[in-house]
Structure 1
């Protein structure tokens, strides 16, 4: 039984979609994600998706490329990801729309709230690609902005770790996981759930989050069934 959500925005990391290769795409992983999202749509839930670009580009670590140009490459990486994943979603039987904040020829459509709402009403999965179209803003900010703008009920953050911890569990074996935490606490404790800009936006606009691992079987479905093992970030 799904929780009482009408519209959700799902954030997928590019690295998670790459699987063990850490770059490019792992098709089996993408098909698994698509089948889970299809289950949500069949339950009447509207799903918007933002995908990071880390499986292609991590330009902020570069000391040779101008930050604005590096971020522009990252925006295009997210467009490539959305085009690919959109096709996987179509392969399993869903309709999709890819919206970007800048023109990409015939590959995407220019974002507007009206067009996004029309796409949701037509039972399409809406991919919000290209970030917010400006440098110095991450895909964390993009999903926060689109979730608020599109009046989503919750942001679903599918990560490589299974929730929010008080320190990095990859380096600290004694890291403590939170089952539930407020956005105020996330800010006070400087926990890396999302970047600071996105976190403040969610705080100011009372946008809750569900943080979970994409690697756990059926984790997207379980998250909305209320039996997930991640962290609920409340407002």
Structure 2
């Protein structure tokens, strides 16, 4: 295995599967099986999940809602997704812990860095909910921050596309994919990888990012084994 500890970032939209909103249980179960195979291989896995399939703070702000309030609502949406993923993982025998940046004692632990690392070292999957716990920060930033805090080897961003392209491949059929790109090239070419705060955190801490298609079964394991899947930023 190439990595010892991985931070996997899943967008809320990825949990929709073929649906227009909400959670596709079949998609979540596929993710759970992929995660289980990596955990069974001895790799420590932490996960950050977005909430865009349920509520998007930025969209609500454009409709007139106060930004901080909208962002807190988005954080609560991420916890719903985290609970769905936790349920799927535990249903196939993967021991998990859900930690939230916003206290919700009845359903999850508060985020405590040392406790999260102890869970990982004991073989449990740790799912981080509620973003950073602060408005004006995305779940991409939460993923970068948590990855740095727990000393992950890499951030894997699971999306619906198979890497970073010169343009949006869903809109521009002539777009070409990068196999590897540097942090400086992403800035220079204006490529869309993560929001700038999240991206800069990774760059400053020498934390590589791999963008890949999580919907293709087995891709997660291939990356864990060091195969060239998706696009790596380093």
Structure 1 length-normalised TM: 0.95
| Residue equivalent to 1:111 | 111
Farther-moved stretch of structure 1 (72-81 vs 170-179): 170-179
Q: 2:20 corresponds to which residue?
A: 22
Deviations 1:166-207 (A, max 9, x none): 111111111121000011211222211000000111111111
Does structure 2 retain, via aligned residues, the 8 Å contact 1:187–1:199? Answer: no
Aligned to 1:7: 5
* 1:137-148 alignment, distance < 5 Å: 137-148=137-148
CA contact (8 A) 1:23 1:56 kept: yes
Q: Is the 8 A contact 1:101 1:110 kept in 2?
A: yes
d(CA) in 1 for partners of 2:146, 2:86: 18
Measure, in 2, the Cα distance between the counterparts of 1:107 and 1:16: 23
- 1:44-123 equivalences under 5 Å are 44-62=42-60, 63-123=63-123
- In 2, Cα distance between the equivalents of 1:200 and 1:186? 11
Structure 1 residue 227: deviation in Å? 2.7
Q: Name whichever of 98-107 and 154-163 sits farther off.
A: 98-107
Equivalent residue, structure 2, for 1:233:
233
How far residue 55 of structure 1 moved from its aligned partner, in angstroms, is 0.8
Match of 2:174 in 1: 174
Aligned residue pairs total 232
Residue of structure 1 aligned with 2:35, choices 34, 37, 44: 37
Structure 1 CA distance, aligned partners of 2:119 and 2:21? 30
Match of 2:195 in 1: 195
What is the alpha-carbon distance in structure 2 between the residues aligned to residue 22 and residue 10 of structure 1? 23
SS of structure 1 residue aligned to 2:216: coil
Counterpart-to-counterpart distance in 1, 2:200 and 2:84:
31
Distance 1:118 1:22 in 2: 38
8 A contact 1:162–1:212 mirrored in 2: yes
Following superposition, the deviation at residue 228 of structure 1 comes to 4.3
- Describe the shift of the 1:206–1:125 C-alpha distance in structure 2 as closer, same or farther (beyond 3 A): same
> How far apart, CA to CA, are the structure 1 residues paired with 2:212 and 2:20?
19
Aligned CA-pair RMSD:
1.1
How far apart are the structure 2 equivalents of 1:53 and 1:22?
14
Q: Is the Cα–Cα contact under 8 Å of residues 169 and 175 in structure 2 kept in the other structure?
A: yes
Whole-angstrom distance in 2 between the partners of 1:228 and 1:89: 26
* Deviation sequence 1:108-150 (CA, Å, 0-9, x none): 1111111101111221100010000000000000000000111
Is the Cα–Cα contact under 8 Å of residues 184 and 203 in structure 1 kept in the other structure? no
2:72–2:135 contact (8 Å) kept in structure 1: yes
Q: Contact 2:34 / 2:217 at 8 angstroms: preserved in 1?
A: no
Runs of 4+ in structure 1 deviating by more than 4 angstroms, as ranges, are none
Contact kept in structure 2, 1:49 and 1:128, CA below 8 Å: yes
